[in-house]
Amino acid sequence: MSTATSDFISVPPGLARVVVTDTELGDVRGDEGFFHYRQYSATELAERVGFEEAAHLLVHGHLPRSGELTAFSAELGRLRVLPPALADLLPAICATSRDPLQVLRTTLSAWGGVAGLRPLYDGDEGERLAAALAAVAVTPTILAAAHRLHAGLEPVAADPGLAHTVDYLRMVTGRLPSERDARAVEQYLVATMDHGFNASTFTARVVASTGADLAACLVAAIGSFSGPRHGGAPSRALEALDDIGTLDRADAWVRDRVARGERIMGFGHAVYRTRDPRSEMLKTTARGWDDPLVELATGVEAAVERALAELKPGRELHANVEFYAGVVMKLAGLDPAMFTPTFCVARVVGWAANVLEQSRDPKIIRPAARYVGPPPPQPVPESAARR
């Protein structure tokens, strides 16, 4: 059978709109401004259920009944407690890097060894599921401890009796959050758990298709997620608001950025051709605070969209999830350094669910590349010969 490049199918750059597999986890319908987890609207879930319910839906395939929710919440709580060997490693890991995502990927790699994870290929469904839930549970504990160690503070131990989002905020800040703050962050977490075949999710599935262990899949996903083009930058969107300062400066600010060919942080999305439903939901959440930052954000959003509509006609450029995510997290008391890590607390659920789904497929992901270099074969020059 021939394997010449001409026998392969050419696809758009970046695999845009190319379907590479089937999934039961959800979909992003960018032209409609809609996305869903399984059969439910993701933003409606964020408005109506908590972290534990949404995570159960993605990992187990259905919303939990009362008894299932109690057991699932208790299991996540128990698994949030760091194994002593991992807690002992964290100060040394934090001393090597101040980037929370670097700390997370290094620590999760070590966690895979501490937990004795076997390759997905060798484990059964129960073993793989147990590893996935443990990773979801331990991720916020690692990130919160890293944040406090970088700030010269003692890490706060997990409290298994608290709800997942409440305990995460408590471990980060050192105090119990208000009900409003916890619920606002929880809505953000639920709305960002999964989002189609983005780069990090696809990366996790590629590694899972090799049969590697779950920690390897997540470390690879975090590596992809850490790239500036992917993981998002809610803190940068918030910095843009700080830079604008007052509403009357918004029009001149955006015109200057467009003239210099700079991206407007917090606006535009690779998939959505209309408004990002996550941004719309978080705007409503932000309005739960009577704060000048909310007034500035909503006013700047309108001013920027007006200017972009004039300067870039024919393109749909609306506020994306980053824009209001930064506003909500700041008002809920999170340090800007924890904005992207908090995104990771949510997205690890989607990565884990995708790894579980991929592990059931025996086929390794192995696409082809089109060679465009000098035509082979050519003789090796004498100057390259070993002497």
16-74 residue pLDDT tens: 778 888 999 999 887 787 899 999 999 999 999 999 999 999 999 999 998 999 999 99
Distance (Å, whole) CA 138 – CA 379: 55
Q: Give domain status of residue 369, yes or no.
A: no
Tokens for 172, please give them: 């980060």
| Residue among 283, 327, 316, 345 at smallest CA distance from 144 | 345
User: Could you tell me if 139 and 194 lie in one domain?
Assistant: yes
Average pLDDT taken over every residue of the chain = 91
- Looking at the fold, whether 352 and 288 belong to one and the same domain comes out as no
pLDDT of residue 351: 98
- Structural domain that includes position 255: 234-331
Assess whether 171 and 221 both reside in one domain: yes
Residues 192 and 90 grouped into a single domain: yes
The reply to whether 269 belongs to the active site is yes
Q: Higher confidence at residue 6 or residue 361?
A: 361
Spatial separation of the C-alpha atoms in residues 171 and 175, rounded to whole Å: 8
User: CA dihedral defined by 141, 142, 148, 151, rounded to 10 degrees?
Assistant: -160
Nearest to 168 by CA among 353, 41, 348: 348
Residue 249 and residue 185 in one domain: no
Is 322 a known active-site residue?
yes
Residue 20 lies in a domain: no
In a domain, 13, yes or no: no
Is residue 376 assigned to a domain?
no
What pLDDT band is residue 233 in, cutting at 50, 70 and 90? Answer: low
Q: Is 122 within a domain?
A: yes
* Counted domains in the chain: 2
Task: Please pick, among 186, 301, 322, 357, the residue that the annotation labels catalytic.
Answer: 322
Catalytic one of 164, 269, 301, 357: 269
d(CA 149, CA 114): 21
Residues 48 and 154 in one domain: yes
Predicted model pTM: 0.92
* Residue 254 sits in the same domain as residue 107: no
Position 18 in a domain: no
Residues 160 and 250 in one domain: no
The Cβ of residue 303 has, within 10 Å, a number of other Cβ atoms equal to: 19
349 plus 290 within the same structural domain:
no
22 domain-assigned: no
Mean pLDDT calculated for residue range 281-288: 94
- Given 287, 312, 331, the domain boundary residue is 331
Look at residue 30 and tell me if it is in a domain.
no
| 141 vs 253, residue with greater confidence | 141
Could you count the other beta carbons within 10 Å of the beta carbon of residue 126?
8
Same domain as 253, residue 197? no
Percent of the chain having pLDDT more than 90? 67
**Residue 265, pLDDT above cutoff 70:** yes
